[in-house]
Structures are given as C-alpha cells and as structure tokens.
Amino acid sequence: MIEVRGLGVSFPGSSSPVLRDVDLDVAPGEQVLVLAGSGAGKSTLLRVLAGIVPQVVDAQVTGHVLVAGLDATTTPTADLATKVGTLTQDPADQLCLPTVLDEVAFALENRGVDPALIGPAVERTLAAVGAAHLAHRRTAELSGGEGQRIALAAALVADPRVLLLDEPTALLDPAAARAVAAAVRAAAGADRSTVMVEHRLDELGRLPARVLVLGPDGRVRSDGATQEVLHDDSRTLAQLGTWLPLSAELSAAGVGALGQLPVAPGSPSRSGPRVLRARGLTVRRGSRTVLDGVDLDVHAGRVTAVVGLNGSGKSTLLLALAGLLTAAGTVSGGSVGLVFQHPEHQFLARTVRDEITWGPRRARATDVDDRVAGALDAYRLTGLEDRDPFRLSGGQQRRLSLAAMAVCGHDVLLADEPTFGQDRRTSAASADSLRRLADEGRGVVLVTHDLRLVGEVADDVLVLRGGQVLAHGPVDAVLADDGLLARAGLPLPPVLAAWRTTDHRLRDVLRALHAAADRATSVPA
Amino acid sequence: MNRLGRALPHDSLLHRRNPTVKLAVFFVVSVLLLVPVDPWTPLALLVVAVPAVLAAGRIPWQTLGAAALLFGPFACSLLAVNAVTRDGPVVAEVLGLEVTGTGVAIGAALALRTVLVGILAVAFSLTTDGARLMTSLHQHARLGARPTFAVLAGYRVLEDLPERWMTIRQAQSVRDPRRRAGTLPRDPGSLTRAAFTLLVVALRQGERMAIAMETRGLGSGPRTVHRPVALDRRDAVFAAVVLGVCALVVLASWHVGVLRTWDTV
C-alpha cells in the first residue's frame, strides 16, 4: 500500500536534511507507529505520504514514494486525497466549515459523489466514530475531544485506503484522549493501512503491531514488531527523548517491575510563608458558573497542581488568581506571573533576548543583563538570542516563555498546561524548571491533565469538577484515592498504578525511574 | 455568543428565500435608489419597506430599529452637509451658514436612501445564514470552489477571533510586572502587539486549514453539493413582487410630480 525508497527531505534554509534515506513498506491493513524525538521528521514523513511535502510546502525531496499506487511527490494533494485520509493534532486547524454535517460531507462532495449517497455515508461515519449525537452541532461549539472525532469522521468518510495520524490525541484531556484513541483503533480496518505518530502511548490502549523508529539524523533507527523494538531498543528510544509505554520504560531502566527499582528517599519540600491567599473565587460567564467558591493558599517552596477534566474551571482559576478576569471573592498576596498554554500568545518582542529582557526592563530592575544571561543559560536558549520567537520550535518556544516569566522574580508563578503537546525531553525540562522555581522559594501553581507530571513535581493537588473543589490535599494521598479520581473523571496512568504497589513516596519513585533510564542511556550501547 | 454571519434563529418568508436571489434583489433595489434625489420617493419606499421587512422576516422591530440607528449618524451628516453646500433659494441661516431649499431636499433624499439601504442590508443579514449564502453563490452564481471554501474557512477563523483576542491580551498583559490587576492595557503599543500576534496566529491557522481542505480533496475535479440550497418559482415570485412594488412607487412619485433625478433637480 505504501512503498518508500531512499526518501530524503530537506527544507530550504535548513542546514541538514530532516529525513535521510528512509525506506518503508506498509502492506494493506498493516498499522505502523512512528517514534522519534522532536524535530526528527515524524510529521514530515506523514506530510510526504499525504502529498503535502513538497507540493504545498516547499522542500527538496529525493527517492520515490508510492502511496496506493500513486506517486505522492507528484500527484496533486487533492487527487491523492481519494486514497489518503489525514488527521492532525488540532481540531481548530481541521474543522473548516460551520456545521458538522457540512464538515463530514466535504470530502465526498469534493469527489463528486451522488448527493443522495452522501447523507447516509455521513451518518454511518459519524456513528462509527461515536459522534452520531453531534450531527446537528456547529463546529465552533465542539469541545477538543468532540472536534477531534468529527475531524476523524471527515477523514474517514471517503473510505481512504491509507490513514495518516499525526498525534491525534496530543491536545486532549485523558478521558477525551482515550475516546479518540478508541475511535482511531476502530477505524483501522482489514484493508486500510495506518501510519501513526503518537506520544501518548499509554492512552492508546493497544499499540500498532509494528514500530518505525527515526533517529535524530532523520534515518531509520529500527523497524520491526512493536514488542521487540520497544523492549530490545528501549534504551535507544529513551535516549531519543520519545515517550515510552511503562513496560518499555522499565526495561530501559533495567528492571522488570517498578517495585524492583532501588529508590532513595528524597527530602520533602520545605514549606515557606504563604505568598497568595484566595477566598471564595467565583467566576460566571453568562448564566453559567465556571468557578464556584474556590479557596486556595499558595506557600513559598511548594508546587500545587490543579487537575480536572476540560471545562472543570482549571484555566479560569489561574486567570482569576492572576487578576486577569473579573471574579467575585478575594485574592491577596505577592506578585503573580502566569505562563499560558500557547507560548506564542505571550510573545512581545522580535528576538529571544528582547523577549527575556522585557519583564525586568519594565520592572526597572537594576541587574537586567545578569538576569537575562542566567535565564538564557538555565533554559538552554544560549545561541538563539537573536532568533525571532515566532520562528522557534515548539520546545524552544516553551522554554522561552518559561524563561521570560521566571526572570521577572514573581512571588507566585502560575503555569497552564506547560507540557502540552511536548515530547518527553521538553516536558521533563519544563517540569524540572517549575520544581526549581519552587525550591528557590516561590509558590507555584500548575494546571495540567498529566497526572505523572503532577507526581513528579507537585506537593499538593487541588481537584476541580464543574468549577468546584472536589478535593485538596497532599499529592500521595489524592493520587491514591481511586474513588476521588473516578469522580473527577481522571483515569490513572499505568505508572501511577504501579507506584501504588511500592512503599515509597510517588516523587521518589518517579525520580528513581527517570534517573535509572538516564543512567542506562548514558552507557554506550 | 458570537452571532456574526448567522440568521435570527426562527423561520420566516425571508429566511426561506434563496440567498443569491435575495442578494441580487437587494443589489438591484440599491442601484434603483440611486435615481431619485427628491425626499418623497425614498420616504414612500421606506414606508412600504419597513412593515414589509418586519412582517416577511419576522424581525422584532427593536432589533431592526437598533440596527437602523447605526446608519443614523451617517444619514444626519449627509443631510447637514448637503443642506449648507447646495446652490438654491436660502431658507434659513444656521451658525453663519446658508441653508438652501434644494440642499435640504437633496440631503433628506440621500439620508432617507441611506437609512433604507441600511434597513434592507440588516434585514438581509438577519435572515440569511452566511454559510448557506456561500453555498448558494457556489451553486447558483457559479462562484468557484476555492474562493467559496476560502471564505467559509475564513469565517471559521473569524468565529474564534474574539476569544483568541482576549486570550492574547491577557497573556501579554501578564508579562508586565507593573500591570494593575483587573484591567487589561489599552494603550496603542499594547493593542498593536496583541494585533500582531493575533495576525500571526490567524494566518498560521489559515495555512493549516488550507492544507486540511486539500487533503480532503478540494479542487480535485467537479464536485457535488449534498445539502443544496433550494431555488424555485417562489424565489422568482419574491423577486418580481419586490422589484414590481419598487417600480410602482417610483412610477407613482413620477406621476404625482415629486420625482426628481440629478437631471431635473
């Protein structure tokens, strides 16, 4: 179904090729998972298969690429679309029409299908992805998970021979991610080949039978049966910075189960004075109460994680704490900084250096140069000083937005989904920097749906549901409470389930796992 | 709730008419209105049009009134400027400026024309769904698939714009260590930076949407429309009635002797 030989791709203005000498054969009905670190060409490979690179996005492409018998490098994208369906990360980029019905029918209309056949096909496809109830909604009103299911239906409606999936669950909360992953699984038929790029392997449920690993140089590192590749090459994979399922992570750490891992107890976080006090925070939008009487104390040296499903009021709570929207109730205490979910929304300057300098200069700080130099170093931005923030990679943008806020020296730092859509290495770096800021004596509040991240950095957890506080307590107690997590709608990641079988503190266990994987990967293979 | 480009959520005679026909009729009436420059003809048309639009579109008069008020200041300025700048018999003197009878008549004509065109435009947009209009233009006015769907995708970007604008302004304001809690900056520098970011973000989204539409086969050949917009005899009757009534009013005003054009004024 797919035959790729000697594929090389380089983008204009880039010094080295993104992909080199890639060979890939995918049989009809076969499913392939592509793993690689950031910038290693996963998305580029999918875009070549979809006929986007080099036809819509300019690039130099060598080798030959046959998809369902068509040359993907020369067949117009729209013609190739008769055989190939594509699903990407963000529903906002894929839902182009005002209503769900028009959106799903679009691909059939473009193929000139008889209008009498389109209605039933749309209905069938919506039912197949579990979205029949959304048929009469407007696309602008859909949640992320709903939007992603509609985008999947829109890709599947024309019954493509090949389905390309580029991190379809990256931007969803755990419950929505599992629902979309299930729909994707159901979409893979006996005569439909799928090629999938995905970070959230634990959410997938069942992994595709075959894995292709791309190295940082853009070459194929390994290609084979999933179980073999994940376990035999787990160290290599950990080294590449890709997410791994727990079992592979354990094998990279050289143990069979989490309980066998030697764990050294760390020192608990010191709790300093209270730096922020919020009482009775209530936010209404129209007739809806988005946040309902939330109390929160933030202490220096501690990280509080706020968890809950999308729409539970997490982001609104941060906006209210930062004084960015009108809320009933009181907030008192020190100065507050907030790192937003999308780094691009916060950029104010045309170079990385000016971006970091912005805050301290506005604050008329005296040691601006020292602070900026320190931040460039701490956030690994040295060498990028003169680059345009809008032209950085996703991981670099994330580090820059954290650096630009950290350098202001606020008493309280709030962060909204700082690891959203990032690979393992960038996520770990973001988590480390938040922990470091707390250890320096600031109060940190972190909104996330990644419970593992919560375990790695947080001291306390605030669980929200429907704008109300469901629970607030120490991280180990909250994450051990199954009833509570079920009521909050938060599925437990496998690594946390495994932690419960040990007698150690969660953070110590996760650190030990991390350290063991790091040690293993630093040994030359 | 963003209602941009969306019809009032009820059914009416005007809601059911074909959007392309409605647009064409609106265009023809607007061109016809360029002919009279006496106040009586547009006034008579206004007297006919307002109740017709209220009834046929089931538009609440408050909604139509509020929308028409938007055109008020422009209409008043047309009246004022023409009243004191046209040659003719002086009927009054205001603040040292001579007001002429001809000026008042032409000014009133242009002001009434503005209000009438405004009311028709509002009635059109309150009874027409933007997406159905584009589908209809694609179907009945031979508008190409690419421009049609570019406009529709642009509309999707537009729908998200108010929320995104707010997020960007919040995100940027929190970067200022000296900001005051509870307010967002309104100085030109801050607004310009927010607008720049909004533009970059919207353009990138637009690019990705264009690619998404290509990957669903837009432009691969002749296409069909699964929910076509109806076009039938009732639309012809609608056009004939509206244009006929307008012609009758103009004829009547000519017959009575009040019709003036630029040639006879």
The DSSP element (H or E) to which A232 belongs, if any, is helix A226-232
Q: Are residues A156 and A293 in the same domain?
A: no
Q: How far is A232 from chain B (nearest CA, A)?
A: 37
- In chain B, the residue whose alpha carbon lies closest to the alpha carbon of A163 is B215
User: A7, A22 in Cβ contact below 8 A?
Assistant: yes
> In the numeric block, which tokens belong to residue A274?
């209270």
Domain-by-domain residue ranges, chain B? 13-133+230-256, 145-215
State residue A302's pLDDT score.
95
Residue A510 lies inside a defined structural domain of this protein: no
Residue A524 lies inside a defined structural domain of this protein: no
Where does chain B show beta strands of DSSP type E? 90-94, 97-100
State residue B3's pLDDT score.
64
DSSP string, B155-199: HHHHHHHHHHHHHHHHHHHTT-TTPPTT----SHHHHHHHHHHHH
d(CA A420, CA A429): 13
On chain B, the residues whose CB falls within 8 A of the CB of A155 are: 215-216
Residue A86 lies inside a defined structural domain of this protein: yes
Q: Are residues A280 and A210 in the same domain?
A: no
> In the numeric block, which tokens belong to residue A376?
């460039």
d(CA A40, CA A219): 9
Q: Residue A292: give its domain's CATH number.
A: 3.40.50.300
State residue A523's pLDDT score.
53
State residue A287's pLDDT score.
87
User: How many Å separate Cα A408 from the centre of its chain?
Assistant: 27
User: B111, B76 in Cβ contact below 8 A?
Assistant: yes
Residue A249 lies inside a defined structural domain of this protein: no
- The number of C-alpha atoms within 13 Å of A441 and in the hemisphere containing its C-beta is 3
d(CA B70, CA B65): 9
Query: How would you classify the pairing of strands A60-67 and A70-71?
Result: antiparallel
pLDDT averaged per 10 residues, chain B (length 265): 72 94 96 92 94 94 87 92 89 87 92 93 92 92 92 89 93 89 88 95 92 92 91 96 95 92 80
The dihedral of CA B182, B184, B187, B189: what is its sign?
Answer: positive
The residue type at A92: A
Strand partners, A304: A445, A460
The DSSP element (H or E) to which B64 belongs, if any, is helix B61-69
Burial degree of A415 (CB within 10 A; 0-12, 13-18, 19+): buried
State residue A89's pLDDT score.
87
- Count of structural domains, chain A: 2
Q: Are residues A111 and A194 in the same domain?
A: yes
d(CA A259, CA B213): 50
With an 8 Å Cβ cutoff, are A112 and B221 in contact?
yes
- The number of C-alpha atoms within 13 Å of A511 and in the hemisphere containing its C-beta is 16
d(CA A432, CA A226): 30
Write the DSSP symbol of residue A102: H
Q: Are residues A281 and A398 in the same domain?
A: yes
Question: Which of B2, B213, B221 shows the shortest C-beta gap to A96?
Answer: B213
A205 at interface of B, judged by CB pairs closer than 8 A = no
Q: Are residues A207 and A352 in the same domain?
A: no
d(CA A144, CA A415): 20
With an 8 Å Cβ cutoff, are A98 and B215 in contact?
no
* SS3 category, A408: coil
d(CA A514, CA A492): 19
Q: Which domain range does residue A179 map to?
A: 2-218
- In chain A, the residue whose alpha carbon lies closest to the alpha carbon of B180 is A323
With an 8 Å Cβ cutoff, are A111 and B156 in contact?
no
A70 at interface of B, judged by CB pairs closer than 8 A = no
d(CA B110, CA B100): 15
User: How many Å separate Cα A403 from the centre of its chain?
Assistant: 20
d(CA B243, CA A178): 58
State residue A525's pLDDT score.
41
Q: How far apart are the first and last CA of chain A?
A: 35
On chain B, the residues whose CB falls within 8 A of the CB of A106 are: 213, 216, 218
d(CA A398, CA A381): 11
- In chain B, the residue whose alpha carbon lies closest to the alpha carbon of A390 is B200
The dihedrals phi and psi of B100, each to the nearest 5 degrees, come to: -105, 155
Residue keyed to tokens 């694609």: B138
With an 8 Å Cβ cutoff, are A345 and B172 in contact?
yes
Burial degree of B199 (CB within 10 A; 0-12, 13-18, 19+): exposed
Q: Are residues A206 and A311 in the same domain?
A: no
d(CA B61, CA B205): 39
A330 at interface of B, judged by CB pairs closer than 8 A = no
State residue A265's pLDDT score.
87
Q: For the beta carbon of residue A398, count every other beta carbon within 10 angstroms.
A: 25
Q: Which of B47, B110, B49, B56 lies closest to B83 in space, CA to CA?
A: B110
Q: What is the value of pTM for the model shown? A: 0.86
Residue A109 lies inside a defined structural domain of this protein: yes
A324 at interface of B, judged by CB pairs closer than 8 A = yes
The residue type at B236: A
Write the DSSP symbol of residue B5: T
Strands of the sheet containing A2-10, edge to edge, are A19-26, A2-10, A60-67, A70-71
The residues, any chain, with a CB within 8 Å of residue A412's CB and separated by 6 or more, are A275, A276, A298, A321, A333, A334, A335, A336, A337, A442, A443, A444, A445
Residue A67 lies inside a defined structural domain of this protein: yes
d(CA B84, CA B99): 5
On chain B, the residues whose CB falls within 8 A of the CB of A360 are: 177
On chain A, the residues whose CB falls within 8 A of the CB of B139 are: none
* SS3 category, A282: strand
Q: What sections of A344-481 are H helices per DSSP?
A: 352-362, 368-378, 394-406, 424-439, 451-457, 475-478
A328 at interface of B, judged by CB pairs closer than 8 A = no
Residue A104 lies inside a defined structural domain of this protein: yes
Residue A404 lies inside a defined structural domain of this protein: yes
pLDDT averaged per 10 residues, chain A (length 525): 94 89 94 86 92 92 94 93 92 92 95 94 93 92 89 93 91 84 83 89 84 91 90 81 84 86 84 94 90 95 93 92 92 94 93 94 90 91 92 88 93 92 81 93 93 93 95 95 92 90 92 82 55
ipTM for the predicted complex: 0.89
Angle between helical axes of A144-156 and A174-187 (0-180°, round to 10): 10
Q: How far apart are the first and last CA of chain B?
A: 48
Q: How far is B157 from chain A (nearest CA, A)?
A: 8
Using H for helix, E for strand and C for coil, what is the string for A28-71?
CCCEEEEECCCCCCHHHHHHHHCCCCCCCCCCEEEEEEEECCEE
**If phi over 0 gives left and psi between -120 and 50 gives alpha, with beta otherwise, what is residue A267?**
beta
The dihedrals phi and psi of A137, each to the nearest 5 degrees, come to: -90, 165
State residue B1's pLDDT score.
39
